[in-house]
Structure 1
Amino acid sequence: MSHPSMRTRLMVGTGLAVTLVLLVSMVLIYQSVARMLRKEVKMQLLESAALLAKSSELEPEGVVYEWHEALESGSRTGVPGYFQYWDQTHGSTVASPALGDGRLEPFHGALDQTVLRPITLPDGRPALAAGLLHLPFLDGEALEEMERLGQVLHPQDFPQVLVCARETQSLDDKLHRMAGHLLRAGTATLVTIWLAVWLVSRHTLRPLDALARRLDERSRQDGGPIPRTPDDLPVELTGLAGAFNRTLERVEAARERERQFALHAAHELRTPIAGIQATLEQAVSRPREAADLRQRATSALEIAHGMSGTIHTLMRLARLRGGLEKPDAEHFDPAALVHALLEEQADRFAARGLKLAIDGPATVPPLDNDPELFRIVIATLVDNLIRHAPQDSAAAMAITDKRHSFHVHFTNSAPDLGHEELKDLFEPFQRGRRAAASGGSGLGLSLAREITRLLGGTIDLRLEDARLTVELSLPR
């Protein structure tokens, strides 16, 4: 399975985003410039049409074109482009010298309404043309001259069609060159940004690559110090690196606990195995009476039963830690279950001379949890109380039922227990400095804590005035 690359994603994402922005920008720039240039051509055409329309005057001898008179006198027309007049009355036409032998197609709209239309010039080039139907201009001097000659002409009798054109091939060429420039500039910008992103990402991810190499080197070793977060690691990745290091620390702590667990388990099992071996070796070392052999076999069997209990506890603890065992929720009365367990162990309390003070209700509203796992926890705590409380001492059990939680307190004397030992009592095979003589494997509190976690509760230890209190809390 291939994993996605941050650098590739950054390059591709940035490239796509920049390409989209550049394309949109180039299209907008191209359209804006093209619209502006074409608008300028249209304005020039409209101005030329208006100027040429005013250059046709009505005089006694007929319509006279000022631009034509200017040409005959050797002057310039002052009007760029191509244009042509059609006299609707006489059917005559006059064209600008730029047309040469070519002619424009006549078109027009309503009187004095200029119409724009794309056309093709006689030489085949594309152009934009303005067509106008207008009347020649009649000034006061021409009118007086007509009246003097007794022949008054009227402009409406001499309608004129004017078509003037501007070639657009040069404009299209300019726009084409501009599009090429925009495309090259956009490509150069995209390549530059890609290169910059690649360099920045390479520099930014270099500390992460270094951290990955350190972790890889460490993975080939058995243990060792956890790699330190590089000082130049980007702040956005320090949280991830810190979380990963904390995970490694927890993994290392779990590995160390499992290693110690295996060592302690081997130690705990070695002693009874050695006892069984010694008992059986003595039994077969020489001929013995049947009663003696039975006694020794019974002793070995008792040791084997103890080993079986220890192995069963170890297997259950492993299943709980590995998540192979889950609680089954049922409704049950936790207070009644606690009182029933205490009654079952009454003989053991009496045998050790323990005076147990019981406080709290005998019944409470039911919990919705696993009663069998809860029973194991209570039985384990009661067993620890009986085993480790001093002979002929006082112990106490209290039940507190609250709205959102249920609590059980077990308190007994612990004169030989120090505060520094409390944190280790929940670890497997930890029994305090002088608790070994009381028996047990040191797995009880560890098992009780694992089960309580599955039940969603907590177990806390407090040591005050040489009295140890174990508090079990379960949520309602």
Structure 2
Amino acid sequence: MTSIRARVLAPLLPLTALALLVTAAGIHASTRRDLLASFDRGVIASARSLAAGVEVGVDGTPAFDPEDLSLPELATPSPDFFYVIFGAQGQVVARSPQAPAVGAPAGSDGPRVTDGPPGFRVAVLPVVREPERDPKDVEEWQEEHPGEPLPEPEPQTLWVEVGRATKPVEQALSRLRRRLFVGFGGLFVALVLLPVWIVSRALRPLEALSRRADEIGPEDPSARLPEEAVAQEIRGLVRALNRALERLGAAYERQKRFSADAAHELRSPLAAVQTECEVALRRPRPPEELRGSLERVLCRVRKLAAMVEDLLRLSRLQNGVLPGGRGEVDLAFVASEAAALHRATAQAKGVDLEVRAEGPVWVRGDPGLLEEAVSNLVDNAVRYT
């Protein structure tokens, strides 16, 4: 059987690991979402800054003039930044040298950010511009197109696409993953060690009881486990153990009494057998005397065997084991048999044995035990009369 610590940790380890993994994944996903949202706002802001440099000439030709823009990426080209400006017909108006080949965006809805090339987020910003009406430009147009009417200004929708590499987001997420690994790894170890410590602390009273139980020996059968010094949850167990100790103590006392009784009962017959044998061996004897000695020894040995059987029966009775079955017994017949068995001994001592019973006296009990009890009563009565 596995220990309590193992049974506590067996389900706790995977559950704790799963809970921490789910929590870490949730934190990572939430942080990534927030970082991308902030990053996307920055990409849209860059697209709006570029849109300030988009204009449409008097003849409706779109152009891009980045000179007045204050974007650092325009001054120093970077592989982590690109832009493409599309005209109303989908033609490329301007693009950065490192811009990938991308098609004109579809639709004219508000600014949006999507995944672009691998590792990039791309902001698409529609820009509505009307042709410029600067007097200088109008004069130049009239010189180039004498006699032609000035075109009516029609607004055009252009698109500004700006892409930024997501390296800052990935670097921040990488730092977050390292911190989660260290922090949640330490938390996992703490959450595993804490139940072990709690279980060990809870088992200390049981370990103390185990040591106290080991100290209880046969030299002090009345010793018991302390009930008041233990927690309420295990007090019932302690009471049950104390009751078991009481039963063991009672059995031990019965065993001691049985041993003392057996030694007392067997001492005299064994001494008589020993004396008979020593007398018989003291000097050479004729066969008739040796035979008489052997017969007396055999008689005493038979009595010893009967005595041993009685002691064994007594031991079974003390342990609550009945040797036979219960049934209807004629007590008058049992008394008559006992009287007949001891009548010769009684007559030798001048004692008359008489059984007075008008008929059968039926009782319920063990026949063998009743016969032995009545026989012992008659024997004691004859012996001490």
Q: TM-score, normalised by structure 2?
A: 0.63
Displacement of 1:27 after TM fit? 1.9
Q: Deviations over 1:46-79 (max 9, x none)?
A: 78769978996766432557xx67x6556779xx
Decide which structure has greater strand share.
1
Q: Is the 8 A contact 2:127 2:160 kept in 1?
A: no
Which of residues 176, 182, 185 in structure 2 aligns to 1:184?
A: 182
The corresponding residue for 2:168 is 170
Please tell me whether residue 105 in structure 1 is matched to residue 107 in structure 2: no
Q: Deviations over 1:401-420 (max 9, x none)?
A: xxxxxxxxxxxxxxxxxxxx
Cα 1:280–1:129 change in 2 (3 A) is same
Name the CA distance, whole Å, in 2 between partners of 1:91 and 1:28: 43
Displacement of 1:29 after TM fit? 1.6
The corresponding residue for 1:348 is 337
Displacement of 1:268 after TM fit? 1.9
Displacement of 1:171 after TM fit? 0.9
Q: Deviations over 1:9-39 (max 9, x none)?
A: 6677755554443233212221222233334
Name the CA distance, whole Å, in 1 between partners of 2:192 and 2:228: 27
Query: In the TM superposition, what are the counterparts of 1:20-169 in structure 2 within 5 Å?
Result: 20-42=18-40, 60-62=58-60, 72-73=67-68, 83-87=83-87, 89=89, 91-95=91-95, 101-108=97-104, 110-112=106-108, 116-119=114-117, 126-131=119-124, 136-137=128-129, 149-152=149-152, 160-169=158-167
Structure showing greater relative contact order (alpha-carbon pairs closer than 8 Å, 6 or more residues apart): 2
Q: Is the 8 A contact 2:54 2:62 kept in 1?
A: yes
Cα 1:16–1:217 change in 2 (3 A) is farther
Q: TM-score, normalised by structure 1?
A: 0.53
Whose Rg is larger?
2
Q: Is the 8 A contact 1:58 1:136 kept in 2?
A: no
The corresponding residue for 1:253 is 250
When the two chains are superposed, the root-mean-square deviation of aligned CA atoms in Å is: 5.4
Q: Is the 8 A contact 1:283 1:293 kept in 2?
A: yes
Q: Is the 8 A contact 1:7 1:198 kept in 2?
A: yes
Secondary structure of the equivalent of 1:105? coil
Secondary structure of the equivalent of 1:189? helix
Secondary structure of the equivalent of 1:93? strand
Please tell me whether residue 312 in structure 1 is matched to residue 299 in structure 2: no
Query: In the TM superposition, what are the counterparts of 1:288-307 in structure 2 within 5 Å?
Result: 301-307=298-304
Secondary structure of the equivalent of 1:62? coil
Decide which structure has greater helix share.
2
Given residue 328 of structure 2, which amino acid in structure 1 is its aligned partner? V
Cα 1:199–1:286 change in 2 (3 A) is closer
Given residue 27 of structure 2, which amino acid in structure 1 is its aligned partner? I
Name the CA distance, whole Å, in 2 between partners of 1:291 and 1:281: 17
Please tell me whether residue 338 in structure 1 is matched to residue 321 in structure 2: no
Given residue 105 of structure 1, which amino acid in structure 2 is its aligned partner? A
Query: In the TM superposition, what are the counterparts of 1:77-476 in structure 2 within 5 Å?
Result: 83-87=83-87, 89=89, 91-95=91-95, 101-108=97-104, 110-112=106-108, 116-119=114-117, 126-131=119-124, 136-137=128-129, 149-152=149-152, 160-193=158-191, 196-197=194-195, 199-201=197-199, 203-218=201-216, 222-223=219-220, 226=223, 228-229=225-226, 233-276=230-273, 301-315=298-312, 338=328, 345=334, 347-348=336-337, 353-355=355-357, 358=361, 378-383=366-371, 386-387=374-375, 436-437=380-381
Structure 1 residue runs of 5 or longer lacking an equivalent are 121-125, 328-333, 361-374, 392-434, 440-476
Q: Deviations over 1:293-312 (max 9, x none)?
A: 98887665554333222323
Q: Deviations over 1:195-254 (max 9, x none)?
A: 5555545544444444444444456x7446536437554444444444444434433332
Secondary structure of the equivalent of 1:186? helix
Q: Is the 8 A contact 2:28 2:176 kept in 1?
A: yes
Displacement of 1:106 after TM fit? 1.9
234-243 vs 281-290, which moves further: 281-290
Identity of aligned residues (%): 25
Given residue 183 of structure 1, which amino acid in structure 2 is its aligned partner? F
Q: Is the 8 A contact 2:333 2:360 kept in 1?
A: no
Name the CA distance, whole Å, in 1 between partners of 2:42 and 2:13: 43
Cα 1:37–1:206 change in 2 (3 A) is same
Q: Is the 8 A contact 1:45 1:129 kept in 2?
A: yes
Cα 1:321–1:127 change in 2 (3 A) is farther
Given residue 244 of structure 2, which amino acid in structure 1 is its aligned partner? T
Structure 2 residue runs of 5 or longer lacking an equivalent are 73-80, 139-147, 341-353
Given residue 107 of structure 2, which amino acid in structure 1 is its aligned partner? L
Given residue 386 of structure 1, which amino acid in structure 2 is its aligned partner? V
Cα 1:267–1:438 change in 2 (3 A) is farther
Displacement of 1:85 after TM fit? 0.5
Cα 1:137–1:45 change in 2 (3 A) is same
Name the CA distance, whole Å, in 2 between partners of 1:163 and 1:74: 16
Secondary structure of the equivalent of 2:117? strand
